[in-house]
């Protein structure tokens, strides 16, 4: 095992600035999957479980969603919410039982609501309630992607070390080119965030600057 005195952030920028692997690249058509941008995870100062990495994250997410709609490409939003009993969280909901615990994000609660800063078109966009980390797990996402004949999955939301990573691994495992715009994902601590960006970049996804992703989408509109 290689050892180092560098921080996770330093390691990430070493990898970013000195890419050693070929990109997966963009394909012909993409889906935007916005993973759990709900108040439990975005309302910093209101909920202890919330976090922010890039202060413009939700603004960038809105920009991506707008461009996807202009292309008539699918825009997906996921959130987590559970029954009063919490039994639908399964074993994942058994490690703690405090007001901040995962299984205590109840249907209809403030923690389950999408952040008000998001622009969600509830007539066109697709919303899934998921119970586990991956946006693919026991949702209709895979069927939706087959119907739309997409080959590229662009992922935003949080957390980088949890649901983003799980969704990215599942996307790659299903044969999709997987893109993570760096400024559009967040985590509770920079160590987890950058360590997982590094792992994603080396193995499972292209971790790109938001400007490059928006530029690619703009090029599709001009074709």
Chain-centre distance for alpha carbon 117: 17
Residue 10 CB neighbours (<10 A):
12
Q: How far apart are CA 81 and CA 96, in angstroms?
A: 16
Question: Strand 75-80 vs strand 30-35: parallel, antiparallel, or unpaired?
Answer: parallel
Which of 75, 155, 163, 166 is flagged as catalytic? Answer: 163
163 as an active site residue: the answer is yes
Spatial separation of the C-alpha atoms in residues 218 and 200, rounded to whole Å: 25
| Nearest alpha carbon to residue 87 among 64, 104, 65 | 104
* 77 upstream amide cis, omega within 30 of 0: no
What amino acid positions are annotated as catalytic residues? 163
């Amino acid at each position: 095992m290689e050892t180092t005195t560098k921080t996770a952030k330093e390691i990430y920028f070493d990898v970013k600035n000195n890419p050693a692997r070929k990109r997966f690249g963009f394909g012909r058509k993409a889906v935007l999957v916005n993973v759990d941008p709900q108040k439990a995870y975005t309302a910093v100062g209101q909920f202890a479980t919330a976090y922010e990495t890039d202060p413009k994250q939700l603004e960038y997410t809105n920009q991506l969603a707008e461009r996807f709609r202009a292309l008539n490409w699918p825009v997906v939003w996921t959130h987590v919410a559970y029954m009063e009993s919490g039994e639908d969280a399964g074993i994942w909901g058994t490690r703690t039982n405090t007001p901040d615990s995962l299984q205590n994000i109840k249907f209809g609660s403030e923690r389950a609501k999408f952040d008000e800063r998001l622009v969600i078109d509830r007539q066109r966009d697709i919303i899934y309630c998921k119970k586990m980390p991956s946006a693919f797990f026991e949702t209709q996402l895979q069927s939706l992607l087959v119907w739309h004949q997409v080959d590229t999955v662009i992922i935003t939301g949080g957390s980088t070390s949890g649901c983003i990573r799980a969704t990215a691994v599942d996307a790659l495992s299903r044969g999709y080119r997987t893109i993570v715009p760096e400024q559009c994902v967040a985590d509770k601590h920079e160590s987890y965030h950058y360590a997982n960006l590094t792992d994603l970049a080396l193995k499972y996804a292209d971790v790109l600057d938001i400007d490059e992703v928006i530029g690619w989408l703009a090029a599709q509109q001009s074709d």
